[in-house]
Amino acid sequence: MAEITPFTYRPGDSILHLLDTRLKFFIISLVNISMLPAGFISTGFYFFMLLFFFKKTGLRFFSMLSNMKFFLILLVFVFLARAFTITGDTVFSSFGVTVSNQGLAEGGMVAFKFFLIMLTGIIFSATTKPSSVKTAVQWFLKPVPFVPEKRVAVMISLALCFMPVILRQAKEVSDAQKARCAHLQKNPIRKTIGIVLPLLKKTFLSADNLILAMESRCYSDDRTDPEFNPSGKERGFFFGSIAVSICLILF
Protein backbone atom coordinates (compact mmCIF):
# COMPACT_ATOMS: atom_id res chain seq x y z
CA MET A 1 0.00 0.00 0.00
CA ALA A 2 2.81 2.36 0.89
CA GLU A 3 3.31 3.89 -2.51
CA ILE A 4 6.26 6.22 -2.65
CA THR A 5 5.18 9.68 -3.65
CA PRO A 6 7.43 12.69 -3.16
CA PHE A 7 5.17 13.79 -0.31
CA THR A 8 5.54 10.80 2.01
CA TYR A 9 7.16 10.90 5.40
CA ARG A 10 10.58 9.30 5.59
CA PRO A 11 11.73 8.44 9.11
CA GLY A 12 15.09 9.80 10.13
CA ASP A 13 16.82 11.82 12.82
CA SER A 14 18.21 14.81 10.96
CA ILE A 15 17.90 18.25 12.51
CA LEU A 16 14.88 18.95 10.33
CA HIS A 17 13.20 15.78 11.57
CA LEU A 18 13.68 16.87 15.15
CA LEU A 19 12.64 20.50 14.72
CA ASP A 20 9.35 21.48 16.34
CA THR A 21 6.57 21.13 13.75
CA ARG A 22 4.93 24.40 14.76
CA LEU A 23 8.14 26.23 13.90
CA LYS A 24 8.39 24.40 10.59
CA PHE A 25 4.90 25.57 9.73
CA PHE A 26 5.88 29.11 10.61
CA ILE A 27 9.09 29.02 8.56
CA ILE A 28 7.36 27.59 5.49
CA SER A 29 4.65 30.23 5.49
CA LEU A 30 7.12 33.03 6.09
CA VAL A 31 9.63 31.98 3.44
CA ASN A 32 7.07 31.12 0.80
CA ILE A 33 5.38 34.49 1.15
CA SER A 34 8.66 36.39 0.99
CA MET A 35 9.49 34.44 -2.12
CA LEU A 36 6.87 36.35 -4.12
CA PRO A 37 8.79 39.63 -4.43
CA ALA A 38 12.22 37.94 -4.36
CA GLY A 39 14.74 38.71 -7.11
CA PHE A 40 17.05 36.43 -9.05
CA ILE A 41 20.05 36.44 -6.69
CA SER A 42 18.23 35.64 -3.48
CA THR A 43 16.07 33.01 -5.16
CA GLY A 44 19.20 31.29 -6.43
CA PHE A 45 20.70 31.52 -2.98
CA TYR A 46 17.56 29.95 -1.49
CA PHE A 47 17.80 27.14 -4.04
CA PHE A 48 21.29 26.24 -2.88
CA MET A 49 20.13 26.36 0.70
CA LEU A 50 17.38 23.86 -0.13
CA LEU A 51 19.93 21.60 -1.82
CA PHE A 52 21.98 21.72 1.36
CA PHE A 53 18.98 20.65 3.46
CA PHE A 54 18.13 17.93 0.96
CA LYS A 55 21.57 16.53 1.60
CA LYS A 56 21.19 16.92 5.37
CA THR A 57 17.92 14.99 5.46
CA GLY A 58 19.29 12.18 3.33
CA LEU A 59 16.74 12.73 0.56
CA ARG A 60 17.94 12.02 -2.94
CA PHE A 61 17.42 15.07 -5.12
CA PHE A 62 17.34 13.42 -8.52
CA SER A 63 15.10 10.51 -7.61
CA MET A 64 12.82 13.14 -6.10
CA LEU A 65 12.78 14.99 -9.43
CA SER A 66 11.80 11.87 -11.32
CA ASN A 67 8.95 11.35 -8.85
CA MET A 68 7.54 14.76 -9.59
CA LYS A 69 7.70 14.73 -13.36
CA PHE A 70 4.03 15.57 -13.76
CA PHE A 71 4.54 18.66 -11.72
CA LEU A 72 7.56 19.60 -13.85
CA ILE A 73 5.44 19.32 -16.99
CA LEU A 74 2.96 21.66 -15.38
CA LEU A 75 5.78 24.12 -14.74
CA VAL A 76 6.71 24.03 -18.42
CA PHE A 77 3.16 25.15 -19.22
CA VAL A 78 3.37 27.94 -16.66
CA PHE A 79 6.61 29.02 -18.27
CA LEU A 80 5.20 28.95 -21.81
CA ALA A 81 2.06 30.81 -20.79
CA ARG A 82 4.17 33.60 -19.34
CA ALA A 83 6.61 33.62 -22.21
CA PHE A 84 3.84 34.01 -24.80
CA THR A 85 1.73 36.59 -23.04
CA ILE A 86 4.21 39.14 -21.74
CA THR A 87 5.21 41.74 -24.32
CA GLY A 88 8.61 43.40 -24.70
CA ASP A 89 11.71 43.07 -26.89
CA THR A 90 10.87 40.39 -29.44
CA VAL A 91 13.09 37.32 -29.50
CA PHE A 92 11.23 35.65 -32.31
CA SER A 93 7.77 35.67 -33.75
CA SER A 94 5.91 33.30 -36.03
CA PHE A 95 2.30 32.14 -36.63
CA GLY A 96 1.14 35.24 -34.83
CA VAL A 97 2.76 34.44 -31.48
CA THR A 98 5.54 36.60 -30.19
CA VAL A 99 8.05 35.59 -27.58
CA SER A 100 9.76 38.40 -25.78
CA ASN A 101 12.89 38.63 -23.71
CA GLN A 102 10.97 39.86 -20.71
CA GLY A 103 8.47 37.06 -21.15
CA LEU A 104 11.20 34.42 -21.06
CA ALA A 105 12.82 35.93 -17.97
CA GLU A 106 9.53 36.40 -16.16
CA GLY A 107 8.25 32.93 -17.06
CA GLY A 108 11.49 31.30 -16.00
CA MET A 109 11.40 33.11 -12.70
CA VAL A 110 7.80 32.19 -11.88
CA ALA A 111 8.33 28.55 -12.81
CA PHE A 112 11.51 28.45 -10.74
CA LYS A 113 9.76 29.94 -7.71
CA PHE A 114 6.95 27.40 -7.95
CA PHE A 115 9.58 24.71 -8.16
CA LEU A 116 11.28 25.96 -4.99
CA ILE A 117 8.01 26.15 -3.09
CA MET A 118 7.38 22.58 -4.15
CA LEU A 119 10.82 21.50 -2.94
CA THR A 120 10.21 23.20 0.39
CA GLY A 121 6.96 21.28 0.69
CA ILE A 122 8.72 18.03 -0.11
CA ILE A 123 11.34 18.62 2.55
CA PHE A 124 8.63 19.50 5.05
CA SER A 125 6.52 16.42 4.42
CA ALA A 126 9.49 14.10 4.23
CA THR A 127 10.72 15.19 7.65
CA THR A 128 7.43 15.64 9.49
CA LYS A 129 5.30 12.83 10.89
CA PRO A 130 1.64 13.16 9.89
CA SER A 131 0.73 12.78 13.55
CA SER A 132 2.81 15.78 14.54
CA VAL A 133 1.24 17.84 11.75
CA LYS A 134 -2.01 17.05 13.50
CA THR A 135 -0.79 18.21 16.91
CA ALA A 136 0.66 21.39 15.39
CA VAL A 137 -2.64 22.20 13.67
CA GLN A 138 -4.38 21.63 16.98
CA TRP A 139 -1.99 24.09 18.66
CA PHE A 140 -2.50 26.78 16.02
CA LEU A 141 -6.28 26.41 16.25
CA LYS A 142 -6.37 26.70 20.01
CA PRO A 143 -6.66 30.52 20.15
CA VAL A 144 -9.24 30.54 17.35
CA PRO A 145 -12.69 30.94 18.92
CA PHE A 146 -15.55 28.53 18.07
CA VAL A 147 -13.19 25.97 16.59
CA PRO A 148 -13.10 22.73 18.62
CA GLU A 149 -9.41 22.12 18.01
CA LYS A 150 -9.30 18.73 19.74
CA ARG A 151 -12.11 17.44 17.57
CA VAL A 152 -10.33 18.75 14.48
CA ALA A 153 -7.20 16.87 15.55
CA VAL A 154 -9.16 13.63 15.96
CA MET A 155 -10.70 14.21 12.55
CA ILE A 156 -7.28 14.65 10.96
CA SER A 157 -5.97 11.49 12.51
CA LEU A 158 -9.08 9.61 11.39
CA ALA A 159 -8.53 10.89 7.87
CA LEU A 160 -4.89 9.83 7.92
CA CYS A 161 -5.83 6.46 9.30
CA PHE A 162 -8.73 5.84 6.92
CA MET A 163 -7.16 7.07 3.69
CA PRO A 164 -5.30 3.79 3.02
CA VAL A 165 -8.39 1.79 4.01
CA ILE A 166 -10.61 3.72 1.62
CA LEU A 167 -8.03 3.49 -1.18
CA ARG A 168 -7.82 -0.25 -0.67
CA GLN A 169 -11.60 -0.55 -0.71
CA ALA A 170 -11.75 1.51 -3.89
CA LYS A 171 -9.32 -0.91 -5.48
CA GLU A 172 -11.36 -3.89 -4.31
CA VAL A 173 -14.56 -2.42 -5.72
CA SER A 174 -12.95 -1.61 -9.03
CA ASP A 175 -11.42 -5.10 -9.27
CA ALA A 176 -14.77 -6.68 -8.46
CA GLN A 177 -16.35 -4.63 -11.22
CA LYS A 178 -13.64 -5.56 -13.68
CA ALA A 179 -14.22 -9.20 -12.85
CA ARG A 180 -17.78 -8.63 -14.07
CA CYS A 181 -16.60 -6.92 -17.23
CA ALA A 182 -17.34 -3.36 -16.13
CA HIS A 183 -14.34 -2.19 -18.15
CA LEU A 184 -16.41 -2.78 -21.28
CA GLN A 185 -18.61 0.09 -20.12
CA LYS A 186 -17.36 3.04 -22.16
CA ASN A 187 -19.48 5.79 -20.60
CA PRO A 188 -17.15 7.39 -18.02
CA ILE A 189 -20.01 8.72 -15.90
CA ARG A 190 -21.68 5.31 -15.57
CA LYS A 191 -18.29 3.82 -14.87
CA THR A 192 -17.60 6.25 -12.04
CA ILE A 193 -21.04 5.77 -10.50
CA GLY A 194 -20.49 2.03 -10.57
CA ILE A 195 -17.44 2.45 -8.40
CA VAL A 196 -18.50 5.35 -6.20
CA LEU A 197 -21.81 3.90 -4.98
CA PRO A 198 -20.49 0.64 -3.54
CA LEU A 199 -17.55 2.55 -2.14
CA LEU A 200 -19.79 5.06 -0.38
CA LYS A 201 -21.85 2.24 1.04
CA LYS A 202 -18.76 0.56 2.41
CA THR A 203 -17.46 3.82 3.80
CA PHE A 204 -20.70 4.58 5.62
CA LEU A 205 -20.82 1.09 7.08
CA SER A 206 -17.24 1.56 8.27
CA ALA A 207 -18.22 4.88 9.78
CA ASP A 208 -21.01 3.21 11.76
CA ASN A 209 -18.58 0.66 13.16
CA LEU A 210 -16.07 3.37 13.87
CA ILE A 211 -18.55 5.35 15.94
CA LEU A 212 -19.28 2.29 18.05
CA ALA A 213 -15.58 1.57 18.50
CA MET A 214 -14.87 5.15 19.55
CA GLU A 215 -17.81 5.20 21.93
CA SER A 216 -16.75 1.95 23.56
CA ARG A 217 -13.35 3.53 24.19
CA CYS A 218 -14.97 6.40 26.08
CA TYR A 219 -14.54 9.03 23.34
CA SER A 220 -14.81 12.58 24.62
CA ASP A 221 -13.78 16.03 23.35
CA ASP A 222 -12.17 16.77 26.66
CA ARG A 223 -8.95 14.87 26.04
CA THR A 224 -5.36 14.86 27.16
CA ASP A 225 -3.41 17.70 25.52
CA PRO A 226 -0.82 16.86 22.88
CA GLU A 227 2.85 17.08 23.61
CA PHE A 228 5.68 18.80 21.75
CA ASN A 229 9.32 17.81 21.84
CA PRO A 230 11.37 20.81 20.74
CA SER A 231 14.91 19.90 19.74
CA GLY A 232 16.52 22.97 21.32
CA LYS A 233 17.63 24.35 17.94
CA GLU A 234 14.36 26.22 17.41
CA ARG A 235 15.70 29.67 18.30
CA GLY A 236 18.46 29.52 15.66
CA PHE A 237 16.10 28.34 12.97
CA PHE A 238 13.56 30.99 13.92
CA PHE A 239 16.01 33.90 13.50
CA GLY A 240 17.66 32.23 10.52
CA SER A 241 14.38 31.99 8.68
CA ILE A 242 13.58 35.63 9.40
CA ALA A 243 16.98 36.62 8.02
CA VAL A 244 16.42 34.52 4.91
CA SER A 245 13.02 36.04 4.24
CA ILE A 246 14.36 39.57 4.67
CA CYS A 247 17.04 38.73 2.08
CA LEU A 248 14.41 37.31 -0.23
CA ILE A 249 12.33 40.46 0.00
CA LEU A 250 15.27 42.86 -0.39
CA PHE A 251 17.26 41.20 -3.16
Partner 1 sequence: MPKAIIDIKDLSFIFDDGFRGLNHISLSINQGEFIILAGKNGSGKTTFLRHLNGLLMPTSGTIRVNGLEISKHLIETRKTVGMVFQDPDTQMVGDTVFDEVAFGPENLKITRARIKEIVTKVLETLNLFHLKDRNPSTLSGGEKRKVAIAGILVMDPQVIVFDEPFSNLDYPGILQVLATIMDLHRAGQTVMIATHDIEPVIFEATRMIIMEKGSVKEDDVPLNLVGRLESYGVREPCFSKFGLEPQSWQK
Binding residues vs partner 1 (CB under 8 A): 1-2, 11, 129-131, 134, 154, 157-158, 160-162, 164-165, 168, 205-207, 209-210, 212-220, 222-225, 227
* Helix, coil or strand: residue 130: helix
Q: Rounded to an integer, what is the distance from CA 49 to the centroid of its chain?
A: 20
Q: How far is the CB of 225 from partner 1 (least distance, A)?
A: 7
The two most distant CA atoms of the chain are separated, in Å, by: 71
CA dist., res. 209 & res. 154, Å (int): 16
Q: How far is the CB of 113 from partner 1 (least distance, A)?
A: 32
Q: How far is the CB of 158 from partner 1 (least distance, A)?
A: 6
Comparing CA positions, the residue from 17, 26, 107, 91 lying closest to residue 59 is: 17
Nearer to partner 1, 175 or 225 (CB): 225
CA dist., res. 117 & res. 113, Å (int): 6
Nearer to partner 1, 187 or 220 (CB): 220
CA dist., res. 87 & res. 95, Å (int): 16
Query: Judging by beta carbons within 10 Å of its beta carbon (0-12, 13-18, 19+), is residue 116 exposed, middle or buried?
Result: buried
Nearer to partner 1, 212 or 243 (CB): 212
Q: How far is the CB of 198 from partner 1 (least distance, A)?
A: 16
CB 112 within 8 A of CB 76: no
Nearer to partner 1, 135 or 245 (CB): 135
Q: How far is the CB of 8 from partner 1 (least distance, A)?
A: 11
Nearer to partner 1, 92 or 204 (CB): 204
